Structure 1
Amino acid sequence: MARNNLVELRKRLNLSQSDVAEAIGTTLNNYGKIERGTRRLNETWIDKLAVALQVQPHELFVADIVRRNLPSSKELSRMIARAMAELPVGVTFEDYPEAVASSLHAQLTQYQAAGGFRDDADQASGLDKDV
């Protein structure tokens, strides 16, 4: 398990190592070993950590860069709707996949740079925010 991932998840909740140790029923020393990745975890410990850090168990193992740069399913739906709405006039069936992919790529680049969708971009597109 990536040490920095646990540290980040803990700090995101403003928890101390002692807080997490207490929440999962272990000592501060043992929790420190878990954060450093020197203690092997079984399913029970993974489940306890996930509850304490308010994430799904698999999220304990997802690298931060991946988690930060992926849109949620709702945001992805909005991106697809925007790509479809912004297709240039005259796009042929043959050109359709490339046109949609190009729009999605541009939107994902914007999404990653901005840390998520911005309300002003949604309003400018004229799309319903709940798509």
Structure 2
Amino acid sequence: MARTTRLSREDEMPNRVRDLRKQREMTLVELAEKIGMAHGHLAKIERGHRDLNQQWMERIGAALDVEPADLLHPRDGGLTEEERDLIRTYRAVPAALRAGFDALRESARPYMGTPEVVPLHPDESAEGEGDTIPNGARNAG
């Protein structure tokens, strides 16, 4: 019999509402009351049996003190924890330091969508393959 790999609980969830609610030690009933929704309906949203529309995302996000987009699973366009941390850091630093983030972002643009790892130094190339800078990136900048 073939073995199947079980997905992690987070991968199984259709959105992050339940995880965020639990992180705040809030019950389903408490959150439902806070947003003016029947707890049964909220339970269905958490399990993916009802759609999480923009109106409810805004209300749930406000109740959980997160951005509405934070309720989405990363596979559906939501941010990973690392991405959220990067955004929080960017917003928290002085404007002069943001210029460094902006410069890094611009220097990385030629590599967006590049499937392979781009070595920073010729000695880092795999198995003597040499330089692996993608076509078009050499003349960028």
Work out whether 1:98 is the aligned partner of 2:109: no
Task: Provide Cα deviations, 1:32-75, integer angstroms capped at 9, x if missing partner.
Answer: 11111111233211110111111101111143995223342437
In the alignment, which of 53, 57, 65 is matched to residue 64 of structure 2? Answer: 53
In structure 2, what is the Cα distance between the partners aligned to 1:62 and 1:43? Answer: 15
Q: Does 1:33 align with 2:44?
A: yes
Q: What are structure 2's unaligned runs of at least 5 residues?
A: 1-12, 102-118, 125-141
Cα distance between partner residues in 1 of 2:61 and 2:45: 13
Residues of 1 paired with 2:71 and 2:63: CA distance? Answer: 11
Structure 1 spans left out of the alignment, 5+ residues: 82-96, 103-131
Larger helix fraction of residues: 1
In the superposition, relative to structure 1, how do residues 41 and 7 fare at CA in structure 2: closer, same or farther (>3 Å)? closer
Matched residue type, 2:82: N
Instruction: Say which SS state the counterpart of residue 29 (structure 1) adopts.
Output: helix
Q: TM-score, normalised by structure 2?
A: 0.47
Please provide the CA RMSD for this pair: 3.5
The correspondence for 2:74, drawn from 55, 63, 76, is: 63
Corresponding residue number in structure 2 for 1:91: none
1:43 correspondence with 2:54: yes
Q: Distance in 1 between matches of 2:50 and 2:67?
A: 20
Change (3 A) 1:56 1:66: closer
Q: Would you say the 8 A contact 1:33–1:39 is kept in 2?
A: yes
Equivalent residues in 2 for 1:1-131 (5 A)?
A: 2-3=13-14, 5-63=16-74, 67-70=80-83, 71-73=85-87, 74=89, 98=120
- Percent identity between matched residues is 29
- TM-score, with structure 1 as normaliser: 0.50
Q: How many residue pairs are counted as aligned between the two chains?
A: 84
Q: Answer 1 or 2: higher relative contact order, Cα 8 Å, separation at least 6.
A: 1
